[in-house]
Amino acid sequence: MANGFDAVLIGAGHNTLAAALHLAAKGWKVGVFEQAPMAGGAVKTGEYTLPGFRHDWAAMNLSLFAGSAFFKGYGEELSRHGCAFVPVNRPFASSFPDGSWVGVSTDMAETLAAIRALSPRDAEIWATLCASFGSEAPHLFGLLGSPMKFRALAYFMFKTLRAKGIGGTLDLGRFLLASPRAWLEETFEHPHVRAMLGAWGMHLDFAPDVAGGAMFPYLEGMAGQAFGMVIGQGGADTVTRALVAAITARGGVVETGASVTRILHQGGKASGIELADGRQITASRAVIAGVAPRALHRLTGGTTPAFDQTMARFRHAPGTMMIHLALDGLPDWRAGADLQRFAYVHLAPSLDQMARTYAQAQAGLLPDEPILVVGQPTVFDPSRAPEGKHVLWVQVRMAPGTIRGDAKGEFSATDWAIAAGPFADRALDILEAHAPGTRAKILARRIVTPVELEAENPNLVGGDQVCGSHHLSQHFLYRPARGHADGSTPITNLHLTGAAVWPGAGTGAGPGFLLARKLAGT
């Protein structure tokens, strides 16, 4: 064997890169090996339509990364290596078929005016929630940032009881267990306000009636009001490029086009990896696998029957289809020109429609009315397109990885290579209904199916961009399995990281940073 390291990391997603940088900063010699030709996983940018039009492949919103504990520690270093963000003061809005809209701006008066146009009572509720967010946020963010160990949970419960009392702690527990619909219908009266927030649950596999999902619409709404959003200057790959440069500057290695075929282990202890070209790379202290749980058995050949079975049963969320558009101009939103000032425009008209769409995708059907997340990054970052032009980032939720039929009964194709065009046209029909004339502004488009997302990044199983359902049975202490929420495996020195590990999906780098801190002892 040759090319020895203290830690070898499989995959160059932002979690493994964050782990590698922290370990390198603690004096470890690290090597990162990525099968794709480009680092970044779902956080990358490219000219996928026309030259000069830069599109974020999957992740666009970098707020979690910019606000993370990891960035707090390494932000200055990453900035020196080119990481730069663009602040967004109007993070999200929703457009509705009746020609109305509602959105969240960091200007409280502006947000309240938009909500008040629908419901004066809901505007009052919004103001009350925002006023109490400062006292509630530490408990929720404290939970989401804690290692998922009994000792850490006990300390969290102790602090919460001391701060909120028994009644307040029980109320918090009820909220954590509630579905988005339960909380939204208890809190707001207007269906459009409910839908505006409920759309955020769909980003993390929480359809309106799934228990445990109320927290995410609440946090996105309150954080959007308080902090806005952050996107990458020039593209989301500003994060990836800076991470790779920082690791390299500290003596680490990041190698792309290097597919890992086997994790080397003997006597219950991992010792390195084998690459497709036959090279064997040693790791004296840790092998960190940034892979989906189901991939571990192929790489290890097996650990223990119980652990292997749990990894094989790991459930993935329904998939996503991406449509990247190069445009001659921004969409002319029927609800009004104000919508051209928002980073995200959700086309998700009601909680009932979201629930139906989710159920159809779970059943393997192409939804009759998919939810669209329409990203308008060039509103805030004109550098992503030639002067006067724009890119549109359209996320189509939900889309089954394996097609069993069409909920609308319009076509019979079950092969994504055939179904992609007609399904994309269905999505664009929805966009056109909300923004007439958008089709005429399209200069070029690139459709990325769930199958292509997985082929490009095997962690996105079936096009699942969150690498696994976050439902209660697979979250907190159970992500990815009971006893292994810290990324540990039955093989000594072998660790799992990425969105499948607590605290889960998003760009916050929590799984990678928590693991690296545990390994480095600080």
Are 403 and 357 contained in the same domain? yes
Do residues 122 and 360 make contact, with C-beta atoms less than 8 angstroms apart?
no
Look at residue 1 in the predicted model and tell me its pLDDT. Answer: 38
Are 408 and 439 contained in the same domain? yes
**Domain boundary residue, one of 227, 250, 274:** 227
In tens, the pLDDT along 66-98 reads: 999 999 999 999 999 999 999 999 999 999 999
**Is 98 a member of any domain?**
no
Are 247 and 287 contained in the same domain? yes
Look at residue 2 in the predicted model and tell me its pLDDT. Answer: 46
Are 349 and 446 contained in the same domain? yes
Q: Is the pLDDT of residue 116 over 90?
A: yes
Look at residue 95 in the predicted model and tell me its pLDDT. Answer: 98
Q: Is the pLDDT of residue 512 over 70?
A: yes
Higher per-residue confidence, 169 vs 12: 12
Query: How far, in Å, are 143, 172, 510 from residue 160 at the CA level?
Result: 10, 9, 22
Strand order in the sheet with 101-104: 101-104, 92-95, 344-347, 371-375, 390-399, 319-327, 442-448
Distance between CA atoms of 509 and 175, rounded to whole angstroms?
25
**Is 219 a member of any domain?**
yes
**Span 303-307, average pLDDT:** 97
**Domain boundary residue, one of 227, 251, 271:** 227
Q: Look-up: residue for tokens 């499948």?
A: 500
Strands 405-406 and 344-347: unpaired
**Is 17 a member of any domain?**
yes
In tens, the pLDDT along 332-381 reads: 999 999 999 999 999 999 999 999 999 999 999 999 999 999 999 999 99
Q: Is the pLDDT of residue 148 over 80?
A: no
Look at residue 139 in the predicted model and tell me its pLDDT. Answer: 75
**Is 134 a member of any domain?**
yes
Look at residue 520 in the predicted model and tell me its pLDDT. Answer: 98
C-alpha dihedral sign at 96, 397, 68, 379: negative
Are 129 and 217 contained in the same domain? yes
Look at residue 141 in the predicted model and tell me its pLDDT. Answer: 79
Q: Is the pLDDT of residue 222 over 70?
A: yes
| Full residue range of the structural domain in which residue 10 is found | 2-86+235-314+468-520
DSSP string over 200-257: HHHHTT--TT-TT-THHHHHHHHHHHHH-EEEETTSTHHHHHHHHHHHHHTT-EEESS
In tens, the pLDDT along 236-266 reads: 999 999 999 999 999 999 999 999 999 999 9
Are 394 and 428 contained in the same domain? yes
Are 331 and 447 contained in the same domain? yes
Are 192 and 240 contained in the same domain? no
**Is 197 a member of any domain?**
yes
**Domain boundary residue, one of 410, 435, 456:** 456
Quote the DSSP letter at residue 464: -
The mean of the pLDDT values for the chain is 95
Least confident among 155-164, 375-384, 448-457: 155-164
| CATH code where residue 255 lies | 3.50.50.60
Look at residue 235 in the predicted model and tell me its pLDDT. Answer: 98
Q: Total domain count for the chain?
A: 3
**Is 352 a member of any domain?**
yes
**Span 156-184, average pLDDT:** 84
**Is 93 a member of any domain?**
no
**Span 305-327, average pLDDT:** 97
**Span 220-241, average pLDDT:** 97
Give the pLDDT band of residue 270 (cuts 50, 70, 90): very high
Are 218 and 270 contained in the same domain? no
Are 506 and 494 contained in the same domain? yes
- List, in sequence order, every residue forming a beta bridge with 103; answer none if it has no partner: 93
- Look at residue 176 and give its three-state secondary structure: helix
Are 139 and 214 contained in the same domain? yes
In tens, the pLDDT along 455-506 reads: 999 999 999 999 999 999 999 889 999 999 999 999 999 999 999 999 999 9
In tens, the pLDDT along 117-128 reads: 999 999 999 999
Look at residue 173 in the predicted model and tell me its pLDDT. Answer: 83
Are 112 and 200 contained in the same domain? yes
**Span 510-517, average pLDDT:** 97
**Span 144-158, average pLDDT:** 70
**Is 97 a member of any domain?**
no
Look at residue 158 in the predicted model and tell me its pLDDT. Answer: 67
Convert 267-285 into a string of H (helix), E (strand) and C (coil).
CCEEEEEEECCCCEEEEEE
